[in-house]
Amino acid sequence: MSMEFNSENFKKEVVEASKEKPVLVDFFAEWCGPCKMQGPIVDELAKEIGDKAIIGKLNIESTEDVAGEYGVMSIPTMLVFKDGEVKETMTGLREKGALKEILKKYL
């Protein structure tokens, strides 16, 4: 299962943790149709990747500050963090295989 990120844990669980292993963050909202399709894909990827990477979701409605800080304007948007920085930005619905390929570059 993927993690749930929020304003309180984002710095520690994403930015700091990405110094150890890559972190994929799925920015979503409950009302977003494509986000509802992306969610289960992100959960499946989290199961497959296991502890090689950290994979989680961030609800932009309750964490507008974080979404704003990273310039997330449309959803779903996924960011890959490594070494404390954003390395990849993907917008729109993505298949599991494509996400996995991008993450592999940072494992």
Catalytic residues, by residue number, are 32, 35
Query: What are the φ and ψ backbone dihedral angles of 22, each rounded to 5 degrees?
Result: -65, 150
What values do phi and psi take at 96, rounded to 5? -60, -45
Nearest-CA neighbor of 24 among 55, 45, 46?
Answer: 55
In this structure, the number of other CB atoms found within 10 A of the CB of residue 51 comes to 6
Distances (CA, A) of 25 to 50, 84, 102: 15, 13, 13
Q: Which of 8, 5, 69, 83 is nearest to 42 (CA)?
A: 5
